[in-house]
Amino acid sequence: MTLDLTRIADPRVVSENRMPAHSDHRWFRDGVEAASGTSSFEQLLSGRWKFHYAPSPADTVEGFASPDFDASGWDEIPVPAHIQLQGYDRPQYVNVQYPWDGHEQVEPGQIPTLFNPVASYRRTFALEQPLEAGETVSIVFEGAESAIAVWCNGVYIGYATDSFTPSEFDVTDALVAGENVLAAQVIKWSSGSWLEDQDMYRFSGLFRDVVLRRRPAVHAEDLRVTTALADDTASAEVRLAVALRGEGTVSARLEGVGELLSADDGALVVRVEEPELWSPERPFLYELLIEVRDAAGEVTEVVPQQVGIRRFAIDDGLLTLNGRRVVFHGVNRHEFGLEGRVMTREQTEEDLRALKRINVNAIRTSHYPNNSFFYELADRYGFLVIDEMNLETHGMWDRLRYLGAGDDEAFPGDRAEWVPALLDRAASMLERDKNHPSVVMWSCGNESYGGTGILAVADWFRAHDTRPVHYEGVDWDPRHPETSDVLSRMYTPARELPAYLAEHPGKPLILCEYAHAMGNSFGAVDEYLDLAYREPRFQGAFIWDFSDQAIALVDPDGRSYFGYGGDCGDAPNDGDFCGDGIFFADHTPSPKAQEVAKLYQGLVVTVERDAFTVESRLLATRSSEYECRVTLSREGEVLETTTVPTDVAPGERATHPLPVTVPDAAGEYAVEVSFRLREATSWADAGHEAAWGQGSSAPGRHPPAWAPSRSGSCGASTTRACTARTSTRCSPACTAVSCRTATERAPTAAAN
């Protein structure tokens, strides 16, 4: 009744008895319950669990899953949590190396056995309501790193790999009346760990919620919602396909539009005239209310589903949203906070609010699928998401790059034994996330070279969905360029991109990582933004990365500090290379965040002595939706403030006369044009500054010599000091006298 090591060390064994992946919809007893947001079909099992730590599989406790086993002497541990942050094992930060390197010699697919911690969990539960006729119950482990085996009342239930997508098992037949015993073992390193060599802290355990889900006798097991937008965007078709379990019927209504009607293929369809379109600036969501009835016509469940009508596609070699060319003002984001990858919905929501405030419009889920609520929030707040599969084999790839290994040594590469795991991870991500309008591309993973295995993943994505497929690895292994629908690179100097585009015609280009934000290394990023609006096929980039990865530690004198690789005695480690965010480890903005806000602003303002020009880089918003405030100041003292009506359409530009007069008297004068929210939003208060530009006169000159601010750089001057904490300088790109600092760390560039 313990983990079978021969199965765990076999890359072909992906799961046993795990339920097929399905959409992440929720279901409720009726409309009233749906409106409350609390489902009686769900029972949360997170909380305190009995816990046993074993440093290796050989040290686990035999028979621990038996209902008669006495676990009263065991420790207790919170779920969700990483065991390494609860006093067991130790946190380890490593980038390229595999975490067991230098400890045990194992080949790809094999697992360490001398040291490979196993976490054994137990808890009891009773169903909150007795099962009704035909109902079933499943147990869902939203995140278990890296492989999990499950027992209920001593009955073996199943096994699953893939740390970052749900593992769901049917436990109906194992349940007993009254108290039930749930037991699980999570092993730190399985064969699947060879596919999880991301640049991140390495943890293990149950790090996302555990939930019981009841299914009524007639149940919508899976939903697929698709939208087809007319070329002129004047109408759209919303289509719903339901995989129904049991004998019954499905009806649906799109709020504000009407009932969906049956189509010839069995789907339900409704036409929407003059639809409100979803975009990062206007993330409008329709509510689709689905009712499931049994053969007698009784409602068995109600399913609310948010629908965003939008069209993301590659048109004539360009990435477009609703017919307009897109530029990604992007960031890579690890799902990581002060408790590691244990992130609450509230913490995630605040991350997205913070990113909205600095004008980020796109997120790459580096380098694994996030918790399901991330996508719901991205839908609501408006982000373009590249959803990335849980795949990285960086340590093996480096053998090819630096040690001269041949393509035949790459993995997954062309090795057939890894294909089941790859396709399983692709399906687990796509089937869960497919109904989210925020998801605009599927990514095959990160830094795993190339080969027929990853090509099979790309082909599977295209066979099951219409979204474009992304994979940067074809830049290193060009044998199968059809793997990726876009050109993708990392850290390419801006000056080299025009030549690269000329040499690689046909596909749009993005940098899935750039502007490695370590220390002060965030200078000259404006060159990339300028290029993105000159070269049509260069369509933006994703900063590495959102926040520093660090863990809260206490030194021997009781002082708190943030720790990095090596601070917990972990080896191998990569030191503080994970300290490369535009936000600090506590997710407060670093000085670099102010620079990001300027670079990524959707309205570019150039201020001359007598006029200012507004260029709109927005997709769906006119400048009139912001208050345009013009301020004249002399050496920091405000002389005059007024507002100017503007109405610049997306993609257009307009010049307006200045409503203030710059005096001819000696001194340094500045004119600042600021665009601010007229009303509060879900992510910022009224008055929040969304864009600004500034022009100033040279100090001591008479008459003043005018110098308009550069559109791409920070734009700080002696009249606008840096407001970010712990710094006297806006960014390395800022050259203003008041922002200069005595020292500056050199930029660091590395792939992640």
- pLDDT of 732 strictly over 70: no
Domains of the chain, start order: 5-25+33-215 (2.60.120.260), 219-312 (2.60.40.10), 327-404+425-450+462-551+580-597 (3.20.20.80), 601-720 (2.60.40.10)
What angle, 0 to 180 degrees and rounded to 10, lies between the N-to-C axes of helices 345-357 and 372-381? 30
Beta-carbon contacts of residue 743 (< 8 Å; ≥ 6 apart): none
Residue 702's pLDDT band (cuts 50, 70, 90): low
**Is residue 383 over pLDDT 70?**
yes
Is residue 597 within 8 Å of 603, Cβ to Cβ?
A: no
Which comes out higher in pLDDT, residue 399 or 207?
Answer: 207
**DSSP letter (8 states) at residue 563:** E
Asked if 627 is an active-site residue, the reply is no
Percent share of the chain, pLDDT over 70: 93
CA distances from 277 to 283, 312, 382, 562 (A): 8, 11, 12, 43
Query: According to the model, what pLDDT value does residue 680 have?
Result: 97
Mean pLDDT of 552-579: 95
Given 196, 376, 447, 595, the catalytic residue: 447
pLDDT over 70 (residue 712) = no
In angstroms, the Cα distances linking 9 to 6, 89, 187, 311 are: 5, 21, 11, 43
pLDDT of residue 2: 64
Pairing relationship of beta strands 219-229 and 235-245 according to DSSP bridges: antiparallel
Contact 34, 42 (CB under 8 A): no
% of the chain at pLDDT higher than 90? 88
For residue range 613-642, what is the model confidence (pLDDT) as tens digits? 999 999 999 999 999 999 999 999 999 999
The tokens for 110 are 């094999």
- Are the C-beta atoms of residues 508 and 297 closer than 8 Å to each other? no
Which ranges in 475-617 belong to alpha helices (H)?
A: 497-503, 526-532, 591-599
pLDDT at residue 747 greater than cutoff 80: no
Contact 195, 111 (CB under 8 A): no
Say whether 513 is catalytic.
Answer: yes
- Mean pLDDT score, 117-143: 97
Question: Which residue in 388, 513, 615, 672 is the catalytic one?
Answer: 513
Mean local confidence (pLDDT), 304-312: 98
Structure-token pair, residue 123: 């808890």
pLDDT at position 118: 98
**pLDDT greater than 60 at residue 454:** yes
Residue 724 predicted with pLDDT over 60: no
Q: What is the pLDDT of residues 489-543, one digit of tens each?
A: 999 999 999 999 999 999 999 999 999 999 888 889 999 999 999 999 999 999 9
> Sorting pLDDT into bands at 50, 70 and 90, what band is 404?
confident
Mean pLDDT of the chain: 92
Residue 749 has pLDDT above 50, yes or no: no
pLDDT at 721: 45
What is the per-residue pLDDT for 104? 95
Residue 704 pLDDT level (bands cut at 50, 70, 90):
low
pLDDT for res 744: 29
**pLDDT of 740 higher than 50:** no
pLDDT-derived band at 715 (thresholds 50, 70, 90) equals very low
- pLDDT classification of 92: cutoffs 50, 70, 90: very high
Residue 726, pLDDT above cutoff 70: no
Place of tokens 């503007």: 646
Nearest to 512 by CA among 548, 468, 473: 473
Across 199-297, where does the E strand assignment appear?
Answer: 200-202, 205-206, 210-215, 219-229, 235-245, 248-254, 258-259, 261-262, 268-273, 286-294
User: What is the predicted pLDDT for the residue at 720?
Assistant: 54
Calculate Rg over the CA atoms of the chain.
Answer: 27
Q: What is the pLDDT of residues 151-204, one digit of tens each?
A: 999 999 999 999 999 999 999 999 999 999 999 999 999 999 999 999 999 999
- What pTM value is reported for the model? 0.94
Q: Residue 434: pLDDT above 60?
A: yes
| pLDDT 10s digits, 20-69 | 999 999 999 999 999 999 999 999 999 999 999 999 999 999 999 999 99
Render 656-710 in DSSP notation, one character per residue: EE-SS----SSS-EEEEEEEEESS--SSS-TT-EEEEEEEEEPTT-SSPPEEEPP
The predicted pLDDT at position 666 comes to 84
pLDDT at residue 514, as a whole number:
97
pLDDT higher than 70, residue 588: yes
Looking at per-residue pLDDT, the higher value among 282 and 738 belongs to 282
C-alpha torsion angle, residues 628, 633, 637, 638 (rounded to 10): -40
Q: Is-contact 601 586, C-beta < 8 A? A: no
